[in-house]
Structure 1
Amino acid sequence: MTAKELIRKAFGTSEMILGRYMEGLTDPDLMVRAVPGMNHLAWQIGHLISAERGMVEMIRPGSAPSLPAGFDDTHSRKNTGDDDASKFLSLEAYKTLWKAQRQATLALLDALPDAELDREEPGKFPPFAPSVGLLMHTAGTHPIMHAGQFVAVRRLRGLPIAF
């Protein structure tokens, strides 16, 4: 298995997990905070889209689709406490944006020469993912870091176990 195949599998795994956790959710579910201090799912999903876009843009500027005006700000860390549902999108709108971003991300992965996976840009790439390959892998696994918050909302709402 090549490095690019392994990275693609990471994207596939996280997409499968989050896809299952989103099954049965409604728009009102996206604004639920299952426990005090937990971010609601609307913020979580928007954060994941924004973060993936940011990682892709670090690697090859201009290769990610644009987001609605104010999207990054709404889903930034400074707005984790915002409970105004009118500032967030519907589940379907988030899924549409996520799909478009994911297609662009995988297109970039396919277009990268294997040797570019080792390229590092200190000061531009974050310390936890200092190379193109690690940044792409992080983009693929990042949704898994948020999966537990989806589980908590699903349990609170009485939805069936996803796995």
Structure 2
Amino acid sequence: MLDIALKQICFAREITLSLLDGLSDDDYFAMPVGSPTHIAWQVGHLAMAEYGLCLFRMRGRQPDDLQLMPGAIRKAFSRGSVPEADRSKNPSVAEIRALMTKIHEQVLVELPALPAAVLEEPTEMPYTATPTKLGALLFCAQHELLHAGQIGLLRRLLGKPPIR
């Protein structure tokens, strides 16, 4: 089942990255009329969530995690945080994208080495299908696709063409 969860996580990331192609830094922080969010927040949130669901929940906090996912970044993009349109109050697009890439790469290093028994351990919400660590991994892919949909909608509101 771990291989299925990893394939789903990677598939969701491919969709997200395709939606980010061709966007300018200005596009990342634009908040179309009526929108409570922007693309930069969506990307930062996905990085934070992948760290939480795929690394922290699987093996707890590690000594290097503060460099991987700094506390200020985690707070800025966690569930319930409010997207800030002022670019000066946010990390740069390059920093957010680098964070997203670095965390995903770490997930691809660590998850394949997880013992199967770890996946059966219980976890709290959010999860999908089963209240286990495997359920958290499965939720990670679904969560990313949900936010990819939001990125896709923001793209369209910014006048960008749909992704084919």
TM-score, with structure 2 as normaliser: 0.84
> How far did residue 80 of structure 1 move?
1.6
Per the alignment, residue 125 of structure 2 pairs with 126
Contact 2:68–2:102 under 8 Å retained in 1: no
Contact 2:84–2:90 under 8 Å retained in 1: no
In structure 2, the CA distance between the partners of 1:57 and 1:88, relative to structure 1 (3 Å rule), is: same
> How far did residue 20 of structure 1 move?
0.5
Per the alignment, residue 89 of structure 2 pairs with 87
> How far did residue 95 of structure 1 move?
1.8
Per the alignment, residue 28 of structure 2 pairs with 30
In structure 2, the CA distance between the partners of 1:69 and 1:57, relative to structure 1 (3 Å rule), is: closer
> How far did residue 47 of structure 1 move?
1.1
> How far did residue 37 of structure 1 move?
4.1
> Matched residues in 2 for 1:71 and 1:88: separation?
9
| Percent identity between the two aligned chains | 28
Quick one: which of 91, 104, 109 aligns to 2:111? 109
> Matched residues in 1 for 2:141 and 2:97: separation?
16
- Secondary structure of 1:80's counterpart equals coil
1:54-89 superposed Cα distances (whole Å, 9 cap, x missing partner): 222122021755224511122234432422211223
> Matched residues in 2 for 1:77 and 1:126: separation?
13
TM-score, with structure 1 as normaliser: 0.84
With 73-82 and 149-158 compared, the bigger mean Cα shift is at 73-82
- Secondary structure of 1:145's counterpart equals helix
Runs (4+) of structure 1 exceeding 4 A deviation are: none
Contact 1:29–1:41 under 8 Å retained in 2: yes
> Matched residues in 1 for 2:143 and 2:99: separation?
17
> How far did residue 50 of structure 1 move?
1.1
> Matched residues in 1 for 2:122 and 2:79: separation?
26
Amino acid at match of 1:86: S
Amino acid at match of 1:12: C
In structure 2, the CA distance between the partners of 1:81 and 1:103, relative to structure 1 (3 Å rule), is: closer
- Secondary structure of 1:70's counterpart equals helix
Q: CA RMSD in A?
A: 2.1
Structure 1 residues 1-163: aligned runs within 5 Å: 3-55=1-53, 56-61=55-60, 62=62, 64=65, 66-68=68-70, 70-121=72-123, 125-126=124-125, 128-129=127-128, 130-163=131-164
